[in-house]
Structure 1
Amino acid sequence: MTKKQKTMLVRILAATVILLVLQSLSAETFNELDQFLFLSAGRWIRLFCYLIVYAIIGYDIIQKALKGIKNGQVFDENFLMAVATVGALSLAVYENGEYLEAIAVMLFYQIGEWFQRYAVGKSRRNISDLMDIRPDYANVERNNKLEQVDPDEVGIGSVIVVQPGEKVPIDGVIVEGTSSLNTSALTGESLPREANTGDEIISGCINMTGVLRIQTTKEFGESTVSKILDLVENASSRKSKSEDFISKFARIYTPAVCYAALALALLPPIVRMFFMDLPAVWGVWIYRALTFLVISCPCALVISIPLSFFAGIGGASKAGVLVKGSNYLEILSQTKYVVFDKTGTLTQGVFEVNGIHHNEMEKEKLIEYAALAESASSHPISKSLQRAYGKQIDRSRVTDIQEISGNGVIAKVDGVEVAAGNDKLMKHIHVKPINCHQVGTIIHLAINGKYAGHIVISDIVKPHLKEAIAALKRAGIEKTVMLTGDAKKVAEQVAESLEIDQVYSELLPADKVSKVEELLKMKGAKDKLAFVGDGINDAPVLSRADIGIAMGAMGSDAAIEAADVVLMDDDPMKIATAIKISRKCLKIVYQNISVAIGVKLICLILGAVGIANMWLAIFADVGVMILAVLNAIRALFVKKLEL
């Protein structure tokens, strides 16, 4: 609870106690003062006591209303409450009636406002706790001692030390040490991740076990933690259509009800006097108009709708899903088409040897020749061959390396000529390869001009991906599509194994944009299309789709910049989780809009015809607001999807 909230709570309690004391004293108690004082002193003392209570509980509302009038922004909830309560007090003075209703309206309004501020504060604290990744310092070693410095002062290439229990302050590469990392604040995943020398590490993780020495690769302002915090802090600035509607609605609605209340106070008495020859009963109609004003206060709408989206963004953060604004949350809830990039999104982007077919040579020898021949290349295929070999590469054994672009490599290994590459390379050296029926990238090998066998290399599909696609379909996604630059045979096998509805293969980056544009034209007007990419080379497509989702790109600058939604780990189930969160949030928003408008319309009619009094007005305003706020907070809590 903030200092301001504590002060407001003291004011509420003080006003409540004094009001209860005054109510325990009957009007006759004050009238008895007339026997000792002159005129109607008891009545005025009673009024003065109630005005003290009113001042304690409502002085800031009066100040805000006067400030709004001074700045030309007259019609807001402060103006409505000020006019209604001051008018009700004046009417009570004129008729020598009860002051309780007028002061109770202000008291309950302030209780509702305090509750709303507390709820918003709780939502902010929940997000702050979930995203508690901002580092307070970085450890730099100087003169054999660790000094704590501001992370902003640490330059690129500096070596920092992160001890057990400390947050990693800046992105970098581990140069010494091994440890387990807690990434739950970033990914929502409670399981620790192992980190070893040579691994990249991003800021925001918590070092759990060993001491790590990290060489920084970014400045603090460009590191993952800074970008994520900036993203979350600015999310509320991007408003949804529902929020824009409520803002425009309030600007029209508030003046309209003020003029309607004025008409209710003046027109019926005038009609009664001049056209019906009946008493005007001004007090009755002014009271109805004041009740009308209290009922009409749009607090439930103006407060609960933004709070619902804010809570939805907080709930998504807890699940490791960063949403850049409530407008994207709204679009995500309307998504019916999900388009996936393949490499790095559906697959891990890590190629591995999963098949070795040989003639007379042993498997181990075939892999050894292939790995050594490809040892000078940095291509992912070459790296996968070297990993499969599993031993230290002795480059001195390799000579006369010829890399034939688009075909493969010819080199001498221990004086033996080794050719490793595709069908084109075999044709180039006049060797007939044997066809492979296994799907993947095929590396043919020829030793001294004689065919020796082939190695199958393929990308690994991410775990639980089939379940994730099924979860999307259960969530109401009508069509799933895969785009890839891979060969048709490879692409179709992956799509079939994952039960993806449609696949487009052998695409260049520009072709992916064209395909997304075609799909955008095919879908329904109200349906939205989401593109899921790795955020590194898919920026054009992420920007072109209705909503771009960067998947499996934790720490990627391109993901954070290009995507509208960032999934902070490789878990494919997070896509369905993000859609579930958005739909729950929008459901809450529509519930609050329907209940708030419905209750107010009914109470406004009852107030206009004299059935509703100030107490019902308090429920229509404060009661509905509290119910809407409680409903909005539900968006913070999202059940984890089961596989």
Structure 2
Amino acid sequence: MTKKQKNVFYRILLSVVLIIGIGVLTTFVSVNIYVEIVLYLIPYLVIGYDILRKAIKGILKRQVFDENFLMAVATVGAMCLGEFREGVAVMVFYQIGELFQSVAVGKSRRNIAALMDIRPDYANVMVNGELEKVDPDDVEVGSEIIVNPGEKVPIDGIIIEGNTTFNTSALTGESVPRDAKTGDEVISGFINMSGVIKVQTTKEFEESTVSKILDLVENSSMKKSRSENFITKFARYYTPAVCYSALALAIIPPIVLMIMGQNASWGDWIIRALTFLVISCPCALVISIPLSFFGGIGCASTNGILVKGSNYLEALASTKYMVFDKTGTLTKGVFEVTQIDATQDFDEKQLLYYASHAEMASSHPISLSLQKAYGQKLERENVHDIEEIAGHGISAIVDGHQVYVGNEKLMQKMNIEISQKYQTGTLVYVAVDQKYAGCIMISDVVKPTSKVAIQSLKSQGIKETIMLTGDTKQAANKVAQEIGVDYVYSELLPADKVAKVEEVLACKGEKEKVAFVGDGINDAPVLSRVDIGIAMGALGSDAAIEAADIVLMDDDPSKISLAMKISLKTLRIVKENIVFALAIKFICLILGAIGIANMWLAIFADVGVMVIAVINATRALKIR
């Protein structure tokens, strides 16, 4: 517990001891009423002085109607009517409830604080041959920094020297260490576990991943959910209403009874009114609902899911249409050679040799995949007259042979007949000396969790899963069949994707939401247009992350299902607390108004309900 929480705990303990002591004393010793008042004022002021101070400040600032005012009026009124023990007990139990709430919020904040701990305190920069610790804000793009074992990577960059293993759990929620070598990209917030590495920075600190994450989490509470806004408005009107109702309960019934010639006990009706005030305090709702969303966002953060506001966490639970980009979202975005079909005059090794050497000057992903599949050092001196034929492929002289590498249109342009036909994948045809040599099939590899993600989303109530891609129809259909999406639209430009999303938005129900999951800069317009934009954060572009409402830090599609699970659980807890708190309060208010409920039942209706609601809200911190 914090120092403040310990202070409240000791005050509660002292007050309870004093109440018991005074109760024992007054049982065996007859004391004057004024002495009894003084005796009970001691524990009352010990436990309630801060509530009285806040109530007075609220009155002076003309912000009268809050829980502090209700507690002050109810307990002071009870003391004035001779209900000393009950008045002090109400204040004690109220403080117990506040302590529970404080501990619960503290637990949630520690989850967030664990994420906040990813902020690096310094960066190691080489200055005049010596290693110097500097503020990450002062490190320029292109600088070389040293990251020792046990230190956090301070700024995004590329490893230029050394190999190591990273702990990425603070960012991605994954406990499995990640190996990295020279040439690999590293993200700020990773913890270096083994070797010393030299990193060349690619961003300024304020633009690095860790800074953006901290900014997202810190500002997430600014965007309130509909439930939170409802409770804020509800409390604004509810508290004055019950105060005036309590006043009416204390005055109107006795006057009516007097007019009717019946005996009216003003003291009984004032006690009922005070009991009514204690019961009516909206603490359970005002505290537990924001706490539930705070816990849900904290739970998501610890699992590598950054939610920019509780409004997005709430909206996710209403999502019925999930639209996906393909490359980099459902697939790895890394092209690999998956099949080689050579003709009788060539073997697979020869086909790869000619294709990789002809493509050696290109940095296109397809060219890089051919070079990777070849797996040997390219003999540059054997390649001449490389020419790119726009929209078709490459022409080059390899080992004195005329080689063409490209699509079917290139073969047709060069009057080369293709002896094989394929229906799926990205196809690279190869011809040597005007003779068809074979075909190399290149495919974008589907992420291992994509199929599971689609199945999980459907089981959670998603009506339609839709895939949008700029890739060819054959390649898109192959991926769609493999992972099980309902609808696929291929060969789309960025503007076409927006148009397709508009069609989905036009067809959805009034309370249904549409989410889009993407990673590229061309996905930013779609992410901004839908109800909920979800971006892949590890490899995703800055524009996509900026435009998105939810960011997945490890690019794992299955985390979408986890985010929905967290959202649904959080909303369920919020609804449980609303129904439970309002039901108990309204029942007890009626009982209090007709004189059945006493001050002890009022204490349960206020503090007891608040404690139960807060404990229930803390369940949002963990997902099972």
TM-score range normalised by the length of the shorter chain? over 0.9
Partner of 1:311: 295
User: Equivalent residue of 2:416, what SS?
Assistant: coil
User: Equivalent residue of 1:344, what SS?
Assistant: coil
What amino acid maps onto 1:82 in structure 2? Answer: A
Partner of 2:565: 580
1:498-530 CA-to-partner distances (Å, cap 9, x unmatched) read 121111111111000000010111121111111
More displaced stretch, 519-528 vs 621-630:
519-528
What amino acid maps onto 2:59 in structure 1? Answer: I
User: Equivalent residue of 2:522, what SS?
Assistant: coil
Structure 1 distance, partners of 2:242, 2:126, is 67
More displaced stretch, 117-126 vs 141-150:
141-150
Partner of 2:19: 19
1:413-444 CA-to-partner distances (Å, cap 9, x unmatched) read 12221111112211222212234325111111
Instruction: Give the drift of 1:144.
Output: 4.4
1:135-167 CA-to-partner distances (Å, cap 9, x unmatched) read 122222335443322222222222111111211
Structural mapping, 1:66-81, within 5 Å:
66-81=56-71
What amino acid maps onto 2:535 in structure 1? Answer: A
Selected match of 1:243 from 228, 232, 239? 228
1:64-93 CA-to-partner distances (Å, cap 9, x unmatched) read 11111111211111111111111111111x
More displaced stretch, 122-131 vs 461-470:
122-131
Structure 2 distance, partners of 1:279, 1:43, is 26
Structure 1 distance, partners of 2:57, 2:225, is 29
What amino acid maps onto 1:22 in structure 2? Answer: I
Selected match of 1:331 from 315, 319, 322? 315
- Tell me if the contact between 2:471 and 2:492 (Cα under 8 Å) persists in the aligned partners: yes
More displaced stretch, 560-569 vs 238-247:
560-569
Partner of 1:374: 359
Selected match of 2:578 from 593, 607, 610? 593
- Tell me if the contact between 1:181 and 1:207 (Cα under 8 Å) persists in the aligned partners: yes
Are positions 1:302 and 2:292 aligned together?
Answer: no
Are positions 1:90 and 2:80 aligned together?
Answer: yes
- Name the TM-score, length of structure 1 as normaliser: 0.95
Are positions 1:399 and 2:373 aligned together?
Answer: no
Partner of 1:602: 587
Are positions 1:476 and 2:476 aligned together?
Answer: no
What amino acid maps onto 1:352 in structure 2? Answer: E
1:539-560 CA-to-partner distances (Å, cap 9, x unmatched) read 1111111111113645642232
Are positions 1:356 and 2:345 aligned together?
Answer: no
Change (3 A) 1:154 1:137: same
1:201-256 CA-to-partner distances (Å, cap 9, x unmatched) read 00111111111111111121111111111111111111000000000000010000
- Tell me if the contact between 2:356 and 2:370 (Cα under 8 Å) persists in the aligned partners: yes
Structure 1 distance, partners of 2:562, 2:580, is 27
User: Equivalent residue of 2:152, what SS?
Assistant: coil
Are positions 1:529 and 2:514 aligned together?
Answer: yes
Selected match of 2:124 from 126, 139, 152? 139
Partner of 2:544: 559
Structure 1 distance, partners of 2:376, 2:44, is 83
Structure 2 distance, partners of 1:450, 1:231, is 58
Are positions 1:434 and 2:427 aligned together?
Answer: no
What amino acid maps onto 1:53 in structure 2? Answer: P
Structure 1 distance, partners of 2:487, 2:530, is 17
Instruction: Give the drift of 1:313.
Output: 0.5
Partner of 1:65: 55
User: Equivalent residue of 1:301, what SS?
Assistant: helix
User: Equivalent residue of 1:87, what SS?
Assistant: helix
1:75-120 CA-to-partner distances (Å, cap 9, x unmatched) read 111111111111111111xxxxx40000110111011111101110
What amino acid maps onto 2:317 in structure 1? Answer: S
More displaced stretch, 516-525 vs 42-51:
42-51
Are positions 1:196 and 2:181 aligned together?
Answer: yes
Partner of 1:270: 255
More displaced stretch, 296-305 vs 630-639:
630-639
Structure 2 distance, partners of 1:248, 1:583, is 24
Partner of 1:214: 199
Selected match of 1:150 from 135, 151, 156? 135
Structure 2 distance, partners of 1:305, 1:368, is 64
Structure 2 distance, partners of 1:612, 1:554, is 61
Instruction: Give the drift of 1:576.
Output: 0.7
Selected match of 1:513 from 484, 491, 498? 498
Structure 2 distance, partners of 1:118, 1:214, is 41
- Tell me if the contact between 2:454 and 2:484 (Cα under 8 Å) persists in the aligned partners: yes
Structural mapping, 1:49-64, within 5 Å:
49-64=39-54
Instruction: Give the drift of 1:259.
Output: 0.5
Partner of 1:46: 36
User: Equivalent residue of 2:521, what SS?
Assistant: coil
Structure 2 distance, partners of 1:45, 1:373, is 103
1:258-315 CA-to-partner distances (Å, cap 9, x unmatched) read 00000000001101111x2122210000000000000000000000000000000111
Instruction: Give the drift of 1:572.
Output: 1.9
User: Equivalent residue of 1:213, what SS?
Assistant: strand
- Tell me if the contact between 1:421 and 1:445 (Cα under 8 Å) persists in the aligned partners: yes
Instruction: Give the drift of 1:2.
Output: 2.0
Structure 2 distance, partners of 1:137, 1:556, is 26
What amino acid maps onto 2:228 in structure 1? Answer: E
Structure 2 distance, partners of 1:454, 1:201, is 36
What amino acid maps onto 2:3 in structure 1? Answer: K
Structural mapping, 1:176-187, within 5 Å:
176-187=161-172
Structure 1 distance, partners of 2:487, 2:538, is 24
- Tell me if the contact between 1:485 and 1:508 (Cα under 8 Å) persists in the aligned partners: yes
1:341-390 CA-to-partner distances (Å, cap 9, x unmatched) read 11111111111111111121121111111111111111111111111111
Selected match of 2:600 from 615, 624, 628? 615
Selected match of 2:444 from 459, 469, 477? 459
- Tell me if the contact between 1:324 and 1:565 (Cα under 8 Å) persists in the aligned partners: yes
- Tell me if the contact between 1:441 and 1:456 (Cα under 8 Å) persists in the aligned partners: yes
Partner of 1:283: 267
User: Equivalent residue of 1:160, what SS?
Assistant: strand
- Tell me if the contact between 1:552 and 1:571 (Cα under 8 Å) persists in the aligned partners: no
1:569-625 CA-to-partner distances (Å, cap 9, x unmatched) read 132211111111100000000000000000000000000000001100000000000
Are positions 1:420 and 2:410 aligned together?
Answer: no
Structure 2 distance, partners of 1:226, 1:159, is 19
More displaced stretch, 125-134 vs 512-521:
125-134
- Tell me if the contact between 1:140 and 1:159 (Cα under 8 Å) persists in the aligned partners: yes
Structure 1 distance, partners of 2:224, 2:520, is 24
- Tell me if the contact between 1:436 and 1:442 (Cα under 8 Å) persists in the aligned partners: no
- Name the TM-score, length of structure 2 as normaliser: 0.97
Partner of 1:36: none
Q: How many pairs were matched up?
A: 623
Structure 1 distance, partners of 2:599, 2:523, is 59
Structural mapping, 1:26-41, within 5 Å:
26=26, 29=29, 31=31
Structure 1 distance, partners of 2:33, 2:575, is 49
Partner of 1:159: 144
Partner of 1:38: none
Structure 1 distance, partners of 2:479, 2:540, is 27
Structure 1 distance, partners of 2:88, 2:436, is 96
Structure 1 ranges of 4+ moved more than 4 A: none
- Tell me if the contact between 1:139 and 1:149 (Cα under 8 Å) persists in the aligned partners: yes
Selected match of 2:209 from 204, 208, 224? 224
1:36-91 CA-to-partner distances (Å, cap 9, x unmatched) read xxxxxx43232112112211111111111111111121111111111111111111
